[in-house]
Chain A
Amino acid sequence: MKNMMGIVWDRGYFHENDLQQCIADICSLAKHPVLNVVDAYRVLKSNGPRGRSAADVALAKGLFISQDIVAVDTAAVKFFNQIAKMPIEQVTHIANASQLKLGNMNLDKMNIKRIKL
């Protein structure tokens, strides 16, 4: 979801006016992605989003694909939480988007294919 900030010119406005709500709001655009892919092959685990050195990177080799933007982010955060502490409750834009009914946060009730290679 946060990736959607890439289409925003004045991101300063987002930061100034409740960032987490803004990120949820921008995902409510009528024209939204049909398939969401989270690439977690090399994961920046600290000092993001810029990172300082290769020490900030972990090789996690994960990949998440879903049509549900909220679900895919939920899964990605829960996966990331194993690498560096980041409870889903703290990533509030996901809960905000769920409230806006942009997708489903409750992964237990979804049909998920977990594939290990």
Chain B
Amino acid sequence: MLRKTRIAIALIMLSLITFYFIDFAGIAPHKLKLLTTIQLAPALLALNIGALIFLFLLTLLFGRVYCSAICPLGIWQDVLETFSKSLTKRKKYKYLKPTNYLRYSVLIGVVIAFFAGFTFLLSLLDPYSIFGRIASSLFRPVYLYGNNQLAGVLGHFNNYSLYVVEIVIRSVFSFAIASISLLIVSFLAYKYGRLYCNTICPVGSLLGLISKYSLFKIRIDENTCNSCGACAAKCKSSCINSKEHQIDHSRCVGCFNCLPVCKKKSIKFTYAFASTSAKEENKPNDSRRMFLSVTGAGLITVPLLKAQNAMAALSKNKPYKKQHPLSPPGSVSADNLLKHCTACHLCVSRCPSHVLKPAFTEYGLGGIMQPMMSFEKGFCNYDCTVCSHTCPNGAILPLTKEEKHLTQMGRVVFTMENCIVYNDETDCGACSEHCPTQAVKMVDYKDGLTIPSVNPDICVGCGGCEYVCPATPFKAINVEGNVVQLKAKPFKDENNKDVKVDSFGF
């Protein structure tokens, strides 16, 4: 019963979150955001007290059921694990000793790296974000491809209820990371059950610290157990030591697979303090852990920082090189993004104009894969606030349409030497046509021609001008990112009296 409930909740959870990520047609209700806000890493980073209390109590009551019913990556692993069982019959797990040094050093390493501004490590290992990237970079294109094929077939029968959408992969690096994560996690799940969750996953390790003390636990009744090992063979966390009737509760993910297999009914999910025979396991040595993780983080960070400086010195072949990337509207500053974003790419998935793109090293090494605005595929719609309302981490804070109109993500820079009007002496004005505030305005140039003139103070940095500028190979107009988003000055309406026209004029 418990097991079936868990499976039902998990499947609903996985389908809804996946759908929330891959939906392009606006079918997924906005309320599904709730499923992402109760993920542990987003809740921690957004300091979402309600969600944190809920998760803490849930774990304190029932152990790591989070990992089996809420975490999308955990559920995904269970799907693969079930699949592997259907292929290899009589699949058996064995009890394994906990890898405490590894998992706690990863946890502490991630925390230290995060506070040192190297959020990338957390982004790379947080299960929700891993799943988000997989859904966004891999599942979504497949879904779109399926939609396009179906739309094509329906179109042959004069049915146009589906429409073809462009499939965009914004960052090869993030695509590669998503693919590699998917392969590794899926392989581990297929072969070894919940190995990732119990050796690497920082969220699992953190919850494991609480679940040791949870009120309800899986327990073995020593008096009736005959140590047949049936439960241990079913345990994908490899945490049941049937010989010694011990269960490592810090690794148990509360899947309840062990319960139905016990013929003696000796293994039960019960109130933990009913019996007193439980032995406390050895506590890991904190100082040694600390040492390990600090050295580890240092060993990774130092050479990476050096590489970054070298890269910055090399690349100077573009006429306009952005000093700073543009962070999404509502992200306050690149620093705020760094402190909150775990690169789940929900915003990247949901951005309707494909402006958001996972950064490479634009934000520095700590911010790899965090979203930035980039105008190859589109520009930021003046009235759109989708990304700001979709972020579960508090990395992009909600904006109203009016606030968005005055949020300056970057400032326009005009390079006259690249401009069509200057070079060819023909009309253009595409930039000004796209400018929502007329921060780019066409002014008289010569012989009736007009040329762009910029007023960065009223620019919001939407990138319409940069996107549309037809100058090749280098654009004549670009948007330079603001490290901290500013408030754009509101534009002033020209004091034009309403004109009365009474004659034809010809």
Q: Give bound CA distance, A45 to B494, whole Å.
A: 11
A90: Cβ under 8 A from any B Cβ = yes
Contact bitstring A64-98, B, C-beta under 8 A = 1, else 0: 00000000001100111111100001101000000
A37: Cβ under 8 A from any B Cβ = no
In the complex, which residues 398-446 of chain B have their Cβ closer than 8 Å to any Cβ of chain A?
420, 424, 426-430, 433-438, 441
A58: Cβ under 8 A from any B Cβ = yes
In contact, A52 and B436 (Cβ under 8 angstroms): yes
Q: Give bound CA distance, A90 to B504, whole Å.
A: 19
Contacts of A112 in B (CB 8 A): 506
Given known contacts A12-B468, A82-B505, A45 and B496 CB-to-CB distance under 8 angstroms: yes
In contact, B496 and A55 (Cβ under 8 angstroms): yes
Q: Which of chain B's residues has its CB closest to A19's CB?
A: B427
Q: How far is the CB of A22 from chain B (nearest CB, A)?
A: 9
Query: How many B residues are at the interface, by size bracket?
Result: 20 to 34
In contact, B491 and A52 (Cβ under 8 angstroms): yes
B499: Cβ under 8 A from any A Cβ = yes
Contact bitstring A35-79, B, C-beta under 8 A = 1, else 0: 000000000011111101101101110100000000000110011
Q: How far is the CB of B125 from chain A (nearest CB, A)?
A: 42
A8: Cβ under 8 A from any B Cβ = no
In terms of DSSP, what is the predominant structure of the interface of chain B?
Answer: loop
In contact, B493 and A52 (Cβ under 8 angstroms): yes
Q: How far is the CB of B15 from chain A (nearest CB, A)?
A: 38
Q: Which of chain B's residues has its CB closest to A53's CB?
A: B493
B158: Cβ under 8 A from any A Cβ = no
Contact of A46 among B468, B472, B496, B505 (CB under 8 A): B496
In contact, A79 and B501 (Cβ under 8 angstroms): yes
B471: Cβ under 8 A from any A Cβ = yes
B117: Cβ under 8 A from any A Cβ = no
B303: Cβ under 8 A from any A Cβ = no
Q: Which of A45, A50, A55, A79 has the largest number of chain B CB atoms within 10 A?
A: A50
Q: Which of chain A's residues has its CB closest to B441's CB?
A: A47
In contact, A15 and B428 (Cβ under 8 angstroms): yes
Q: Give bound CA distance, A80 to B448, whole Å.
A: 17
In contact, A15 and B430 (Cβ under 8 angstroms): yes
**Interface residue total, chain A, C-beta cutoff 8 A:** 39
Q: Give bound CA distance, A32 to B265, whole Å.
A: 83
Contact bitstring B484-506, A, C-beta under 8 A = 1, else 0: 00000001011010110101111
Given known contacts A49-B433, A52-B438, A83-B499, A90 and B506 CB-to-CB distance under 8 angstroms: no
Contacts of B437 in A (CB 8 A): 52
A31: Cβ under 8 A from any B Cβ = no
Q: Which of chain A's residues has its CB closest to B497's CB?
A: A58
Q: Give bound CA distance, A83 to B505, whole Å.
A: 10
Q: Give bound CA distance, A4 to B332, whole Å.
A: 42
Q: Which of chain B's residues has its CB closest to A89's CB?
A: B448
Contacts of A107 in B (CB 8 A): 506
Contact of A55 among B420, B448, B493 (CB under 8 A): B493
Q: How far is the CB of B307 from chain A (nearest CB, A)?
A: 36
Contacts of A47 in B (CB 8 A): 438, 441
B470: Cβ under 8 A from any A Cβ = yes
Q: Give bound CA distance, A12 to B472, whole Å.
A: 10
Given known contacts A50-B435, A90-B448, A12 and B427 CB-to-CB distance under 8 angstroms: no
Q: Which of chain B's residues has its CB closest to A90's CB?
A: B448
Q: Which of chain B's residues has its CB closest to A12's CB?
A: B470
Given known contacts A12-B468, A55-B493, A79-B506, A18 and B426 CB-to-CB distance under 8 angstroms: yes
A114: Cβ under 8 A from any B Cβ = yes
Contact of B420 among A16, A50, A79 (CB under 8 A): A16
In contact, A50 and B433 (Cβ under 8 angstroms): yes
Contacts of A89 in B (CB 8 A): 448
Q: Which of chain A's residues has its CB closest to B467's CB?
A: A12
Contact of A16 among B435, B438, B448, B471 (CB under 8 A): B471
Contacts of B435 in A (CB 8 A): 50
Q: Give bound CA distance, A20 to B424, whole Å.
A: 12
Q: Which of chain A's residues has its CB closest to B426's CB?
A: A18
In contact, A58 and B430 (Cβ under 8 angstroms): no
Contacts of A84 in B (CB 8 A): 499
**Assuming A12-B468, A16-B420, A46-B496, what are 6 further A-B pairs, CB within 8 angstroms?**
A12-B470, A19-B429, A55-B494, A59-B498, A79-B504, A82-B505
Can you spell out 18 A-B residue pairs with CB atoms less than 8 angstroms apart? Answer: A12-B470, A13-B470, A16-B428, A19-B426, A46-B496, A49-B433, A50-B433, A50-B434, A50-B436, A52-B491, A56-B493, A60-B499, A60-B501, A75-B504, A78-B505, A79-B501, A79-B505, A81-B505
Q: CB within 8 Å of A: which residues of B?
A: 420, 424, 426-430, 433-438, 441, 448, 468, 470-472, 491, 493-494, 496, 498-499, 501, 503-506
Report the 6 A-B pairs with minimum CB-CB distance, sorted nearest first.
Answer: A55-B493, A12-B470, A78-B506, A16-B470, A15-B470, A78-B505
Q: CB within 8 Å of B: which residues of A?
A: 11-13, 15-21, 45-50, 52-53, 55-56, 58-60, 62, 74-75, 78-84, 89-90, 92, 107, 112, 114
